[in-house]
Structure 1
Amino acid sequence: MIWVAATLIAATAQTARNAAQAGLTRQVGTMGATAVRFVFGFPFAAAALGLAAIWLPIPRPDLSVLGWATLGALAQIAATAFMLVTMRGQGFGVATALMKTEPVTLAVISAIVLAEPLGAARMGAIGLATLGVVLASGVSWGRAGWGSVATGVLAGALFGLSAIGFRGALLALPDGGYVLRAVTILAITLGIQSAVMMAWLALRDRRGLSGIMREWRVSLGAGFLGTFASLFWFIGFALTPAANVRTLALVEVVMAQVLSGRLFRQRAAPLQLLGMGLILAGVGWLLAVAAA
């Protein structure tokens, strides 16, 4: 059950990274803030791989590994773009709820692409937890346009596809333990994403590029937190199907609601409380099935 601890660590670190990135949006723009997690995260991943190489032989990636890693890297960038489109159209709450449908699409894609069917019990747990997210979001779905719903679900599906790419790359490595595999794929993936985002900023958003360099201290902190979170996501992906990891990560929604109540005195509506209960029930069901 190491994947459980890795997932919880990753979700916590990701929350901290999101907070760091949010503070950069006004200074460097949306695309600049998005690029920070890749551009400033890559040096940490490269350093971790270099340290690992001192004591252990690094697995040599073949074309299959590079293909899976590229799929995951590009799908994650595209997912982020559709997420931003959804947020502009419907706001944070609707976008978040739609993207958290990721475990469902991820389970379907896993069964098709990686031949990892999860079975009726796990699919039931995933569906229950996802329904809980929709209720816990507290958004008014009557006001959500079909266009934004489509881009939000597509963002979730692309995030799921990126997780499939990462797990495929991890499984395709010829040797190495799960931590070494995670570090190797992390460095490869962030290298690809950094190159793509730097090229985009240089060609389309020079202001954002100069902004992240000017705010390098905050950017470096966000990059470190992003790399730390991704390392533990990859450890989880190396040990269990990605749908299990992403479903367990839905507890982040509950933690965010509790934090909002403690810090901002925001009271949850009864329907939101029901949603949080369904998330916990779905996650508990998943863990029970996984441990059986």
Structure 2
Amino acid sequence: MPLWIIFTLLAAFAQNVRSALQRRLAADLTATGASYVRFLYGLPFAALYLAALIYFTGEALPQINAQFVLAVLVGGAAQVVAAVLLVRMFALRVFTVGTTYSKTETVQTALIGFLVLGEVVGPYAFAGILVSFIGVIALSVARTAITPRSIVASLGSPVALMGLGCGAGFAVASVCYRAASLSLDDTGFAVSAAMTLTCVLVWQTLIMTVWLGVRDRASLKQSYVRWRPAVVVGIASVIGSIGWFTAFALENAAYVKALGQIELVFALATSTLIFKEKTNRGELLGIGLVVAGLVLIVL
């Protein structure tokens, strides 16, 4: 099995765990504060991982360049903006419409990857991306009264634009992280991915610290007071990030993000097997389409 698939599966599973841990932490913090601890407490472990790789591989610390710096700055900022938009949509009654549009992330990643890196998605893989995308949409609306017609009718509304912007932010971040790793061509894929991850977390921690210091000092203070559970979130987050960044260093970001949608299957399996929640026909259809699309991508 190709390494990028292994790292993507690791990332999707760890992200599912991190989300569950963040929900518990959100009881004491705002949604923005709960997101902040991912960066703050993940950074030391990312730096430790980079140091361990350099020590055991014998490679030198990568020499950064202008392309690397630009990709890190743009990608890190884009991810923070996307995360903020996602949090904003949580406060809206029509949250499902917004998140449905945010699922265009995989398609947008393929487009942005072509425009920025010139990476072309093969016809079977593109078909897989579209099939899995339809499956994700089916999963998103399976337990709501929203119909395909209402989703199309909402195009142009503020919540739809927020959703599209959220998906675009995550797509830009993914392509930028791949571009940053590829720019460090004097090192192996693992070290270049770890270097990119560490630098991105430094930048994102700085952005979020300033933001919370100005807009929400109470959450900033609580993120330090609640450091014990926050460290666990940071560890789970950095494990997932190691998976994502390493996969980006190895393969087209569109393939990685599309395969990463298996996280939704993990989440649904958890709710069914552990919390004994029933699965309806719409969810079963969505799972089937997601899996079919992922099989096309892998093949």
**TM-score, shorter chain, exceeding 0.5:** yes
For 1:70 and 1:225, the matched residues in 2 are separated by 23
- Counterpart residue identity of residue 9, structure 2: L
Cross-structure match for 1:198: 209
Deviations 1:125-167 (Å, cap 9, x if unpaired)? 1010000010122133357653212211210111011001100
Structure 2 residue corresponding to 1:115, chosen from 92, 115, 118:
118
For 1:158 and 1:52, the matched residues in 2 are separated by 30
Cross-structure match for 1:217: 228
Cross-structure match for 1:72: 75
Structure 2 residue corresponding to 1:257, chosen from 259, 263, 268:
268
For 2:101 and 2:197, the matched residues in 1 are separated by 26
Which deviates further from its counterpart, 48-57 or 195-204? 48-57
For 1:231 and 1:217, the matched residues in 2 are separated by 22
The question of whether the paired residues in 2 share the 8 Å contact of 1:40 and 1:223 is answered with: yes
- Counterpart residue identity of residue 59, structure 2: L
For 1:94 and 1:216, the matched residues in 2 are separated by 34
For 1:196 and 1:115, the matched residues in 2 are separated by 30
Q: What TM-score comes out, normalization by structure 2 length?
A: 0.92
The question of whether the paired residues in 2 share the 8 Å contact of 1:135 and 1:271 is answered with: yes
Structure 1 residue corresponding to 2:159, chosen from 137, 148, 169:
148
SS in 2 for 1:19: helix
Deviations 1:199-220 (Å, cap 9, x if unpaired)? 1111211100110111000111
For 2:234 and 2:292, the matched residues in 1 are separated by 33
Q: Which runs of 5+ in 2 are unaligned?
A: none
Structure 2 residue corresponding to 1:56, chosen from 53, 56, 59:
59
Cross-structure match for 1:20: 21
1:2 equivalent to 2:13? Answer no
For 1:157 and 1:176, the matched residues in 2 are separated by 29
For 2:113 and 2:247, the matched residues in 1 are separated by 15
1:271 equivalent to 2:276? Answer no
Deviation of the 1:93 alpha carbon: 4.6
Equivalenced residues, count: 288
| Structure 1 vs Structure 2 CA RMSD | 1.6
Deviation of the 1:91 alpha carbon: 6.0
